[in-house]
Structure formats: structure tokens, C-alpha cells
Amino acid sequence: MKYNRIIVWFRNDLRVHDHASLSSSIEKGKEVVPVFCFDPRNFRELDLGISKSGSIRTKFLIESVDNLKKNLQKLGADLIIRIGKPEEKLIEMALELKADAIFFTEEVTEEEKKVENNLEKAAWGKGIETKSFWQSTLFHIEDLPFPINQIPEVFTQFRKECEKFSRVKKTIGLPTKINFPSESIDMGYIPKLSTFGLPDKPISSKSVLGFKGGEDEGKKRLLTYFWENDCLKSYKETRNGLLGADYSSKFSSWLSLGCISPRFVYEEVIRYEKGRKKNQSTYWLIFELIWRDYFRFICRKHGSKVFQIQGIKNNVDNWSKDKNLFFKWADGLTGIPFIDANMRELNQTGFMSNRGRQNVASFLVNDLGIDWRWGAAYFESMLIDYDVCSNWGNWMYIAGVGNDPRENRYFNILRQANAYDPKGEYIRHWIPEISQIPASDIHQPFELSTSDLNKLGIDLGKTYPHPIVEFKI
């Protein structure tokens, strides 16, 4: 069937390469109208008093939308921008432009599905067709070796079955031209942070990378990490680093908004393996993409359970809701340097290493006993690479209410700190007020005597907080 005019609703798929709904609309529609809606509900204030999407994360989104607009213009089209509820704005636009259909990428979690369902219902009532496409994972949902309701509850089983029986579909080629309507259309505008009541918050110059949103930036990062700096061959050995641009790929920020597709990354890994080197490190990057898939399929399987306090294990609710303790954690003022350094990096840059994330999450839920959903919500607000499935899946995992064969995913913070930051370089980078402390003591300044601290110009409780919990290695 050929449509006269198709609206392509962009969501977390802000790219023109490997784009199923865009490609299909070009093939099936005489004219294609790309649209992005900034949904005000995504910037609302949560009960904790924080924005659902904070300044740094929102800035990355705005940059990504702006880059998508430019890339569509290169193909002869443009991006119409609206601010409002997509299920309302898209219907208004479809009626105004006499569009036959709305194509979009399918999501899996509660809020996103509700918007999809409301859109489809409203569109059906107006005689407008809708079509959704699956394109957020490495393995297509149709190619899984099991139905969704039988997805294994243990990752290793999922990975092995997929590696054995599934294949990764080829990426969809880049369009050469998009037929965009010639009539005058209100294109809308790229909003500013102030549009959503958010302050302009520049990323700290201490950031491991100058993160900027967009498909072009995502591809540029891959080019740098794989081909120019040749880092992929040692990814497995360096991925638990804390400082520097290249200890890990940092692709997650662009993957989260679909600025690059996981299949595009996969094909580049295969090309690297053929042209440069194939080893455990090259496989490990694919392994991480499969983890990303796993969380998405688990969220599809379990629905709203992933946001409930008992998680998917139906554990008893015995979590504390101490806001004072929570915000000491969030603000990087726990008095435990390894925790505080990681939280300060997050607050000032919108990024934190994987090693850091596991430790700060374990500290919040295991050492402080705070409701794990508060931590997940804080990460949602702050992380530029926030991915709803990976974020909530990982938090459930650490909290012991998710997909983990082990009962207790506890991290000994001081042992981890000494293992991954033995010289205290990471601590000095983010907590300059205790940088004078020698490496042997920097992870536990609270164990130094008052006189030793005074000699270093540190007054515990004033210069740097007393620890909010007590523990030793």
C-alpha cells in the first residue's frame, strides 16, 4: 500500500542511519514528515524535588534533536518540533497535514507504552493508521530463540541461546533523499533549557569526555575510539577505569537516544576484527551490547514490575526513606571519598563509570538501606546516557530484586576503592579538598588522627564531612 503522507515520530531513535520507520516511510509514502515532540511530562519535578530529566541530560537531548534536524535537511527534509504530549500533538499535525499514517519506534516500558497506546487509540478514531517498528536492540525481537514470556531470568542463559540461535540483522542503508512536503508548515523551534524551567549547567572541564549529543558526534566517538586511538583491542582490560576518555567506549550516551544504533556498533566491531584484531576485548564490547538487549527484553517481559519496590522477585519492602541520608549520597557528601568522588563526577558531568555506578548503588541500598528506586530516579535525572531499561534493570540487580542468581550483590567500598584507585588519583581529581592526603590513607581519611589531619590543613567535619557509616576493609 502506498500512502500519500506519513508522519515519522522520532523518539529514542535520533538518527538517519539504520532507521526502520524512516526507511519504511520513504518506501511506502509519497511524502514523509519527520516530527519530534518534547514531552513536558519528561521534565516534571519528582517527589524527591528533582527534575525527571536534569539540565545536563536535557542539554544532550536538545543537541541530539538539533543534529537530527540538520541531517534530515541534508536529505531534503526537515524536522518539525513540537512541545506537548505526543499523543495529542501528532494527531493534531496528522489532521492539519492530512497525513494517512504515523510510523514510530516501539518502546517497552510503562510510560512510553501508555503514550503509544493513547496515540494509536486516538489515531484509529480519526481514521489515521499507525505502524510501530522494533529497532532499539542488537537482536531483533522476532529473531529471539524464545518468546518474550520465556526470556530466561539469568543473563548467561539468554546470551548463550542468542549467540547460538539468533543472528544480528544487517543495518538499513542511509537514505539518499526524503520527499518532504513543499507547502508552508510551522516547523516549531529547538527549545532551550529554560523552556523546561531548567538552569543552564555547563559540563565540568574535569569531565572524561566533552559529551555532545547527536548522530554525528556518536559516529565521531566510534571513529576515535576504534580506528584513530585503536582502543578496542584492550577494552576488556581497561573498561573498569575511572579517569580518561579511552578506558571505555562511552558509546552509551549516543546509544541511549538512538543517535547510533547497536547494529551499527556491532558491524564496526566485526570490521575491526577483520581489519585490525579479534580478541576477548572485541568480543566483550558485543557482550555488553547483549547485556543492553537483555535488560530491554526483561522489561518487555515484566512490565511495570521493574519500577515497583519489590522488583521482579517480589521481595519484602524493608527500605528506608531517609531523605537526609539520601541527599548526602546524592550530593557527594557521605564522607566516604570513593562514593563522593563518583557522585560529584555524575553531578558535574552527567557521566559515571560502570565501576562507579555499581559501587554507589551498592552503598545506597546495602550500606544505607535506602529505597533503591530513589537511586534509580536520581540516575534518571542526572545521566546523559540514561536508558530506562538498563538503568532500572541494573538498580534492581544491585538491590537484589532483579535478575541475579546471587542473593547479595554487595560491594566492599574500601576494598573496591583500593583496587581501582590505588594511588588515589580519581579521588584527588574530584575531591581537591583532601588531595594532600597520601595514597595510603586517602580512601579512609577518617582513620587519620586529628593532629595528622590538621598538619594537612584538613578539619574533618568542615573541610570534608565525617563518614555517615563506619566500616573497614
Annotated binding site for FAD: 235, 248-252, 288-295, 385-387
The span from the CA of 384 to the CA of 392, in Å, is: 15
Three-class DSSP category at 333:
coil
**SS3 of the chain: helix, strand, coil, percent, to 5:** 50, 10, 40
Is 111 exposed, middle or buried (CB count within 10 Å of its CB: 0-12, 13-18, 19+)? middle
Annotated binding-site members: 235, 248-252, 288-295, 385-387
Phi, psi of 15 (to 5 degrees): -155, 170
Angle, CA 340 vertex, CA 335 and CA 345 arms, to 5°: 165
Closest of 69, 37, 79 to residue 187, by C-alpha: 79
Q: Give the separation between CA 396 and CA 415, rounded to whole angstroms.
A: 23
Strands 101-105 and 80-83: unpaired
**What is the number of other CB atoms lying within 10 angstroms of the CB of residue 88?**
14
C-alpha distances in Å from residue 455, one per residue of 123, 240, 433, 435, 467: 71, 34, 14, 13, 20
Q: What are phi and psi of 79, to 5 degrees?
A: -120, 120
Strands 3-10 and 29-38, by their bridges, are parallel
Which strands sit side by side in the sheet containing 3-10, from one edge to the other? 80-83, 29-38, 3-10, 101-105, 129-133
Counting Cβ atoms within 10 Å, is residue 79 exposed (0-12), middle (13-18) or buried (19+)?
buried
Grid cell for residue 138: 542488537
